Structure 1
Amino acid sequence: MVNVKRLPRRGGNYQMSTDVKGIAASDGFGIAPAYLLVDPDLTYETTQVEDTAAEYARVEAAFQASIDELSKIKENAKGRLGDEELEVFDAHIAILSDPEMMGQIKTDIEENHTGAEAAVDKVMTGFADMLAAMVDNQYMQERAADVKDVAKRALAHLLGKQLPDIAGIDHPVVIVAKEITPSDTSQMDAQYVKGIVTDLGGRTSHAAIMSRTLRIPAVVGSESITTTAQNGQMMVVDGLNGDVIVDADDATVKEYEQKAADFEKQRAQWAKLVDAPSVSKDGKEFEIAANIGTPDDVADAVKQGADGVGLFRSEFLYMGSDHLPSEDEQFEAYKKAVVGMNGKPVVVRTLDIGGDKPLDYLPLPEELNPFLGYRAIRICLERPDIFKPQLRALIRASEFGPLGIMFPMIGTVAELRAAKAIYNECLTELQASHPGIGKNVQLGMMIEVPLAAINADNLAKEVDFFSIGTNDLIQYNFAADRGNDKVSYLYQPLNPAFLSLIKHVIDSAHRHGAKAAMCGEMAGDKYALPLLMGMGLDEYSMSATSILRTRSTMKDLDTAECAKLVDKAINECATDEEVKALVEKELG
């Protein structure tokens, strides 16, 4: 939603300010000029030129500007990117310095009187097409994308346009984009990126999850921010309420700077709970754990006082590699996480690829609906050559501390038993040379398939723990793609029927002596927390940045009162809004 209003400027003049409403995705306040992460229009008119020398000089200037730009980006990225990633910039600079390509561009301009833009586009597209045609040389095929990227940069300089470049940002900005990819967020430096606003996405999109990990205030699913904001306009991002103010005046900036300062004071109060137990007002103990993507994230989890790692998304080890990680490579990563947690438990989700997480080096069949297709445990059960190295690495890592292994996308008891059988094969193989190995391992599964939630009583007999993945469980129960902002209104963790299903899963786990955990975003939701405590959920796993806020809220809640709240929510409410209003009324 967009709302335009007049704001007073200093000196009595007025400016037009625009309020944009979206989905609050990451807590905090971001205040900085807008930086549009949108490619400019690089279309050009094909012309004939007379002064060919001047035209080629334009090409040389554009290429040199591109080289200078890439050199600066590389320098800024040092310390944030590894040597391998930094080599990409050297490869792009080498392309811009290629004498054969430059010679062809010069010849085209001199002999055909072609304009600089058309000559660069024609020659570089030809080079890219030639590389792409080398079907027997994967390395050279991949270089085609590099040539196209460099051509885009050179054309931008010829046309006087600026390409967005996250890695090169060296001043405070609010990123404005249609959507943000995981690769975009991996380049962001929180020192300069003060906020994120997108047209698309929901609270459980990867952009939202990554922004919380990076502690960058974010509002997603605004629908219109890329057409409303312009580069350089002062932006205010309210990640608590989902509000964005475009072209904010001095008074508004001052108001939100005070709000930001107040919020930081609140964070300072939460920080005092780093070493405190996760306990309710009436003394019931719980666990508040962290969701992580790499072993390096463990340091932040510890810093935020996590009681453990409730979800280690192991697929990021695969997505960050150009090959299937070996058993030893995985072992080192899992060991680092386990050792880093200093005796606190680490739960690793086995490989969950497919859907929105493909691997370039592991082609999967094209599917009409990949989210409901060949993915996660379904791939692993069919490919023990992929599954067993991971399981062996995990078992070996368990010698350094308590470790949980959980299987994603389990739908049936048969699937769970098949996964356990492969695990037991690996365990038997390792115990032949390492007697007693595996004693620190617990086996669990994610509850994210609706049938698994319904059949929780039978599945609980087979595992040590459940971890409820509400991000997918909600989208599958409501038949609503969580990445589609048009149906984001159906992301309803507080829907009474859904709450009833969650309670059934927790009760089923407890009936059979299994632990009930939750690793979806619902675990860190301030409205859901008292309801989950009232249901007896044992572990709450969330973005590390949400841990201390949740612990602070938890210590003020009485579980007996929370249990009464659950009963009212499920039996007296009909909609998620009614549940939210009930929580606000009963708990203030």
Structure 2
Amino acid sequence: MHDRKDSDSRKLLRRLKEILAAAGGGQDRLDQITHHIADSMGTDVCSIYLFRDPQTLELCATEGLRAEAVHQTRLRLGEGLVGRVARAGRNINTENAPAEPGFRFMPETGEEVFPSFLGVPIQRVGEKLGVLVVQCREARLFSDDEIYGLEVVAMVLAEMTELGAFQGSQSDSMPQAHRFPLMLRGTTAQEGAAEGHVWLHEPRVVVANPVGDDPEKERARLHEGVAMLRESVDRMVGAADMGGTGDHTEILETYRMFAHSRSWLKRMEEDIRLGLSAEAAVEKEQSSARARMEMSADPYLRDRLHDLDDLSNRLLRILTGQGRDTGAEMPERPILIARNIGPAELLEYGRKLKGVVLEEGSVGSHAAVVARALTIPLVIHASRITTEALNGDPILIDGDQGIVHLRPEETVATAFRDKIAMQAEAQNRYASLRNLPATATCGTTVQLYMNAGLMADLPSLEGSGAEGVGLFRTELQFLIRNHVPRRGELAQLYRRVIDNSHGKPVMFRTLDIGSDKVLPYMKPQDEPNPAMGWRAIRVGLDKRGVLRMQLQALIRASVGRPLHVMFPFIADISEYEDAYRILMQEMSREQRLGHEMPTDIRVGAMLETPSLAFAPQRFFEMCDFVSIGGNDLKQFFFAADRENERVRRRYDTLNTSFLALLEQIIARCEAARVPLSFCGEDAGRPVEALTFAALGLRRLSMRPASIGPVKHLIRRVSIAELRQVIEDGKSQGLTNLRRPITEWLARQ
């Protein structure tokens, strides 16, 4: 019985392969396919529904239902049994379709006489393409063998869809894939605007031969590919440098466990036996595992989905020979599209890129930090971009609004080009202010510093007119390696940073990892709230070897010149005292070893938690400088996670209570005569920057591109007058000062 089923399945798949190879339009192919499936399975009906758009399914071909319903019957995602199959990515098998929850009667199809219903999703690695349905007049449930056979057919249909077998033309009513303009709304991770062409970080593997002619030959190919995969994973585990911690071992061992899974291999062998090629079998199992895991509420299982995806993609590349370097040439003005990307990979592209769009990512991730360093716009959470975009597609990225226009209409493109031209013109105007001070009309001067994290940033120090580096993020050198960097490497890098600053001060922030910045060789902590967990100075004081090594590198890099060290995420005075003591011990040790020393050392702290605003006065007196870490301080003050789109925009920096907290910090620093700066996204927003200056902040640190607009505004107004506007607003009991401040600015 099994052999006959196998033979029928392979026969049907061979027919599908012939249909794919034959000349003809998409509609003709679909009509033939529904006829052959119904004939092979002995069913009265076979129908194929494809997505017209992400929310709408359309009946595109049928054998057994009324022909006039084709391209007329449409269902919303989740509507009717077909919509339910599509939404959940799961089969529905019933002997009494009208009695099923969510059943929708569609009189135009004539399907009321077919109570038996089996619907199977047509999907390809997380991408929903449509639904394949068979129906019978007699009331019966379909067998497990029939279900499995239909899933195999659905897999081939998914590959045929990817190969463009069913694409329509302008003259017919078939859906046209990858043709229409598409606007995607994501999240801003780095501002700016760019026009260019799509460059896929990992081009999709195209399975050109979904059907296998010889099961034994395909099985041998699969085994050969899996053996190569296992060998490469074993080599990766063996070569991994654990940095002396051993934390990473568990992650790689989980990865190896997947690669050596017998059940995974067994399921793929079963797919091949029924007629799929080795590649199609890998993709079928990847798609069904993805559908299962995405339904899981267990965050651990959902995380493992990435491991399984990565392994399946590696195996597909081995079997097809389609490595990342497919021979395609990078287009002009490339805009990188990826599901996610690490900082090292992003840095490899360097300044060739005009922008980046990710399906995943986070506002504070290291990829976002690299994008800022490269001064290119970055949009994250742009769902479906990797499946919708093709290499070379025209694309517009608006980092200010978090919007992406793929294959834009000419009217959209024209308006967008006008916006880019206006921004370029404004930057040219700001260039003339480069060597002028940020002095307001009332005579108040504000020092403008820049944030940096890479050598690539340093040319901006001169070009932007910044007076120094208010924050140098040292964690990027740790994030872009797969092992702990050596002290000598770090000392050399820090020395080059100081050399390139040409005497301007550089505030080196010690390692700020944890939260969304996890080192590739360090085990993630799986904390429920990592932003408030084991991160920054907490890690440094627990893993003192790394902190001491970094401090030694900074001391050796600053020989004969001043050194500024800043400790991140101090929440209690004792943490600062411990870190300060370690730094002084390293200074004494270097001196005892006879090494030349920095000419001066200044030690400061980042004030990122409200608790530190209430620290004993002794804390402020101990510090040589303090820097408000605005991004973290704001999220903790308002209890609003800045990675959460539903709450992060709800709270305004110009809220009176937040400004009152800043005023308290300013007063405490003035009493202790300690210099204070504000560092964060808000420092680079002209209205917010001006408000901070009116409160009494005299040093702001921001991304290089923001220095021009901020300086331009400061030089045109009176900070003393704005101070009065703020006081008036507070005396009126206003809870937010944005409106009176912007109205005052409009009058200027």
TM range (shorter): 0.7 to 0.9
Q: Tell whether 2:721 aligns with 1:561.
A: yes
Query: Aligned residue for 1:416?
Result: 576
Structure 1 stretch displaced more, 446-455 or 25-34: 25-34
- Secondary structure at 2:676 match in 1: strand
Quote the residue 1:49 is aligned against: 213
Q: Which amino acid aligns with 1:333?
A: L
1:172 equivalent to 2:310? Answer: no
Aligned match of 2:471: 311
Choose 306-315 or 563-572, whichever is displaced more. 563-572
- What amino acid is aligned across from residue 580 of structure 1 in structure 2? R
Distance 1:246 1:199, change over 3 A: farther
Cα distance in 2 for partners of 1:208, 1:583 equals 31
Shift of the 167–397 alpha-carbon distance from structure 1 to 2, 3 Å rule, reads: farther
**Residue aligned with 1:399, SS:** coil
Quick one: which of 423, 427, 446 aligns to 1:286? 446
User: In 2, Cα distance between the equivalents of 1:480 and 1:339?
Assistant: 40
Q: Which residue does the alignment assign to 1:341?
A: 501
Give 1:479 deviation, angstroms.
2.1
CA distance in structure 1 between the partners assigned to 2:448 and 2:605 by the alignment:
18
Distance 1:181 1:147 in 2: 17
Task: Quote how far apart the aligned CAs of 1:176 are.
Answer: 5.2
Q: CA deviation at 1:247?
A: 4.3
What is the 5 A alignment of 1:210-229? 210-220=370-380, 226=385
CA 1:233 to 1:567, structure 2 compared with 1: closer, same or farther past 3 Å? farther
State the match for 1:532 in structure 2: 692
- Tell me which amino acid in the other structure corresponds to 1:581: R
Query: Is the Cα–Cα contact under 8 Å of residues 212 and 218 in structure 2 kept in the other structure?
Result: no
CA contact (8 A) 1:573 1:579 kept: no
Q: Map 1:154-553 to 2 at 5 A.
A: 154=318, 169-175=330-336, 182-183=343-344, 185-194=346-355, 196=357, 201-202=362-363, 204=364, 206-220=366-380, 226=385, 230-231=389-390, 234-363=394-523, 365-434=525-594, 437-455=597-615, 457-490=617-650, 492-553=652-713
Q: 1:152 is matched with which residue: 295, 311, 316?
A: 316
Contact 2:677/2:697, CA 8 A, preserved across alignment: yes
1:31 aligns with 2:195: yes
Secondary structure of the residue aligned to 1:527 is: helix
SS of 1:306's partner is: coil
More moved, 41-50 vs 283-292: 41-50
Give the residue type in structure 2 aligned to 1:153. Answer: R
> When the two structures are aligned, how many residues end up with a matched partner?
503
Hey, what's the Cα distance between the residues in 2 that align with 1:200 and 1:360?
15
AA aligned to 1:561 is E
- Residues 361 and 442 of structure 1, relative CA distance in 2, 3 Å threshold: same
Checking the alignment, whether the CA contact within 8 Å between 2:360 and 2:381 is kept in structure 1 is yes
Tell me the distance in 1 between the aligned counterparts of 2:617 and 2:327.
Answer: 48
Secondary structure at 2:707 match in 1: helix
8 Å CA contact 1:199, 1:225 repeated in 2: no
Compared CA separation, residues 220 and 55, structure 1 to 2 (3 A): closer
Distance in 1 separating the partners of 2:280 and 2:385: 32
- The alpha carbon displacement at 1:497 in A equals 1.4
Q: CA, structure 1 residues 119+178, in 2 after alignment: closer, same or farther (shift >3 Å)?
A: closer
Q: Note the residue ranges of structure 2 that are not aligned, 5 or more in a row.
A: 1-53, 55-178, 225-264, 287-306
Measured in 1, the distance between the counterparts of 2:320 and 2:741 equals 53
Match status 1:586 vs 2:744: yes
Report the Cα offset of residue 413 of structure 1.
1.1
Q: Which has the higher contact order (CA 8 A, sep 6+)?
A: 1
Provide, for residues 490-515 of structure 1, a one-character-per-residue CA deviation record: whole Å limited to 9, x for no partner. Answer: 45322221121122112211110111
Offset at residue 39 of structure 1 (A): 7.8
Q: Which residue is 1:67 aligned to?
A: none
Question: Which moves more between the two structures, 278-287 or 462-471?
Answer: 278-287
1:321 aligned counterpart, secondary structure: coil
Alpha-carbon distance between aligned partners in 2 of 1:536 and 1:239, rounded to the nearest angstrom: 31
1:415–1:177 CA distance, 2 compared to 1 (3 A): same
Unaligned runs of 5+ in 1: 3-14, 61-103, 126-142
Whether the aligned pair in 2 keeps the contact of 1:209 and 1:543 (CA below 8 Å) is no
Q: Retained in 1: the 8 A contact 2:684–2:701?
A: yes
Q: Secondary structure at the match of 1:406?
A: strand
CA contact (8 A) 2:565 2:603 kept: yes
Aligned partner letter, 2:556: R
Change over 3 Å in CA distance of 1:568–1:318 after alignment to 2: farther
The share of aligned pairs that are identical, in percent, is 27
Q: CA separation in 2, counterparts of 1:456 and 1:167?
A: 61
Cα distance change of structure 1 residues 497 and 198 upon mapping to structure 2, 3 Å threshold: farther
Listed one character per residue, the Cα deviations across residues 518-569 of structure 1 (whole Å, up to 9, x for unaligned) are 2211111222111111122122111122222222222223220232243345
- Deviation digits for residues 69-108 of structure 1 (CA, Å, limit 9, x no counterpart): xxxxxxxxxxxxxxxxxxxxxxxxxxxxxxxxxxx9xxx9
Shift of 1:424: 1.4
Q: Secondary structure at the match of 1:331?
A: helix
Length-normalised TM-score, structure 2: 0.59
Aligned partners of 1:36 and 1:226 also within 8 Å = no
Q: Report the CA distance between 1:440 and its aligned residue.
A: 1.8
Counterpart for residue 94 of structure 1: none
On the 8 A contact 2:207/2:279 being kept in 1, the answer is: no
| 1:568–1:273 Cα change, 3 Å | same
Could you say what secondary structure the match of 1:286 adopts? strand
Cα RMSD of the aligned pairs, angstroms, is 4.3
CA distance in 1, matches of 2:590, 2:345: 40
Counterpart CA distance in 2 for 1:366 and 1:533 is 40
User: Structure 1 residue 342: deviation in Å?
Assistant: 1.0
Structure 1 residues 458 and 260, CA gap change in structure 2 (3 angstroms): same
Cα 1:328–1:515 change in 2 (3 A) is same
Cα distance change, pair 38–112 in 1 and its aligned pair in 2 (3 A): closer
Question: In the TM superposition, what whole-angstrom CA distance separates every residue of 1:177-230 from its partner, at most 9, and x where no partner exists?
Answer: 66665456434454443464767754x5555544333232344566x5749965
Counterpart of 1:150, as a letter, is: R
Return the TM-score normalized by structure 1.
0.73
CA shift, 1:313, in A, is 0.9
Would the alpha carbon gap of residues 44 and 294 (structure 1) be closer, same or farther in structure 2, given more than 3 Å must change? same
Q: Cα gap change, 1:378/1:59 in structure 2, threshold over 3 Å: closer, same or farther?
A: closer
State the alpha-carbon separation in 1 of the partners of residues 591 and 504 from structure 2: 24
**What is the SS of the residue equivalent to 1:353?**
coil
Q: Name the CA shift for 1:297/1:494 in 2 (closer, same or farther; >3 Å).
A: same
Q: 1:387 to 1:266 in 2, by over 3 A?
A: same
Counterparts of 1:487 and 1:34, CA distance in 2? 31
Q: How far apart are 1:328 and its partner, in Å?
A: 2.4
In structure 2, the residue corresponding to 1:251 is in which secondary structure?
A: helix
